[in-house]
């Protein structure tokens, strides 16, 4: 009956064509979505790799900073103990080394991070894990907090500790002994000697040493907290990278 009815036959043909076009569009959209996801997965993999490299740098900087601050605390304690000992028993070489350590400076913070780069480029959204995105934001916040304490410690050394020591300590003589910056070895030795007799009986110096220990201790606590945050971010990044590696889309060229 349909064969003898041309309008009905044409309608059936038109509907078939429409269905085929719709199916074609759906397939094209599916392929396009699949390809876009594949590219996003590849970009996410690149981002996670870059993140892993930055975390390695952070661990190195925190480890070096922790070591330096711990040495500063140890030297400050040595000097405080020396202040309780008889003057004739002074070990000048050890005193010079301790003085150099308590005046050392270290800043592990950097102006930008991968989080800033991702925000600026709009690529943060490519990280599929919301937990990892939140962890990166927390890491940036904690790094800024650490930088604050590091800067306070450096300011203390520059504005209070070093000016006090410069009244009593021959810093060039200490450097020429091979302590500190090797580039200063060619500086002619000044003849005035360090007056440890005065400095080790100075109440202001004792107070500065206690303050130095407090500054260094606060910085170390922040290093330890940052280390835990970095480990958490690294763990999430590794989980995310493992998930991407196992996606079939990435195995298709």
CA atoms within 13 A on the CB side of 249: 17
Which of 236, 35, 231 is closest to 127 using CA atoms? 236
Q: Which residues, 6+ apart, have CB-to-CB distance to 54 below 8 Å?
A: 113, 114
d(Cα 222, Cα 150) in Å, to the nearest integer?
9
pLDDT for 173-210, tens place per residue?
565 555 555 555 555 555 556 778 888 889 999 999 99
Map out the domains of the chain as residue ranges: 6-251
Predicted pLDDT at 17: 76
Residue 159, pLDDT score: 96
> In this structure, are residues 139 and 229 in contact, taking their beta carbons and an 8 Å threshold?
yes
Residue whose C-alpha is closest to residue 71's, from 32, 112, 103: 103
Q: Global pTM?
A: 0.74
Instruction: Give, rounded to a whole angstrom, the gap between the first and last alpha carbons of the chain.
Output: 51
- Report the phi/psi class of residue 179: left, alpha or beta, with left for phi > 0 and alpha for psi in -120 to 50: beta
What confidence score (pLDDT) does residue 184 get?
A: 54
Phi, psi (rounded to 5 degrees) for 121: -90, -10
Query: Rg (Cα) of the chain, in Å, rounded?
Result: 32
**DSSP H helical ranges for the chain:** 6-82, 92-102, 114-121, 130-156, 162-165, 171-176, 196-199, 203-245
Q: Where are the alpha helices (DSSP H) in 157-250?
A: 162-165, 171-176, 196-199, 203-245
User: Residue 239 has what pLDDT?
Assistant: 77
pLDDT 10s digits, 14-49:
777 777 777 878 887 777 777 777 777 888 888 888
Q: What is the mean pLDDT of each run of 10 residues along the chain (253 residues)?
A: 59 75 79 74 86 88 93 95 76 86 84 76 86 89 90 95 87 57 56 74 94 96 92 85 56 43
Which has the closest alpha carbon to 159: 107, 212, 216?
212
Comparing C-alpha atoms, which of 73, 60, 10, 7 is closest to residue 215? Answer: 73
Contact 215, 156 (CB under 8 A): yes
d(CA 198, CA 169): 10
């Amino acid at each position: 009956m349909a064969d003898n009815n041309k309008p009905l036959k044409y309608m059936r043909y038109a509907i078939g064509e429409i269905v085929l076009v719709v199916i074609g569009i759906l397939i094209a959209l599916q392929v396009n979505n699949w390809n876009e996801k594949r590219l996003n997965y590849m970009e996410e993999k690149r981002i996670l790799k870059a993140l892993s490299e930055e975390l390695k740098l952070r661990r190195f900087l925190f480890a070096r900073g922790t070591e330096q601050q711990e040495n500063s605390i140890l030297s400050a304690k040595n000097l405080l103990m020396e202040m309780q000992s008889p003057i004739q028993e002074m070990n000048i070489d050890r005193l010079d080394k301790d003085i150099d350590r308590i005046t050392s400076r270290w800043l592990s913070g950097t102006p930008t991070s991968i989080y800033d780069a991702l925000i600026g480029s709009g690529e943060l959204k490519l990280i599929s894990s919301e937990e990892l995105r939140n962890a990166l934001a927390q890491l940036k916040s904690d790094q800024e907090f650490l930088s604050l304490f590091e800067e306070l410690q450096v300011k203390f050394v520059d504005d209070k500790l070093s000016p006090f020591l410069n009244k009593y300590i021959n810093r060039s003589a200490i450097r020429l002994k091979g302590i500190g910056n090797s580039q200063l070895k060619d500086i002619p030795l000044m003849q005035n000697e360090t007056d440890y007799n005065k400095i080790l009986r100075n109440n202001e110096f004792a107070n500065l040493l206690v303050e130095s220990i407090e500054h260094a201790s606060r910085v170390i606590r922040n290093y330890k907290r940052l280390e835990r945050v970095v480990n958490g971010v690294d763990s999430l990044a590794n989980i995310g990278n493992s998930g991407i590696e196992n996606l079939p889309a990435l195995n298709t060229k």
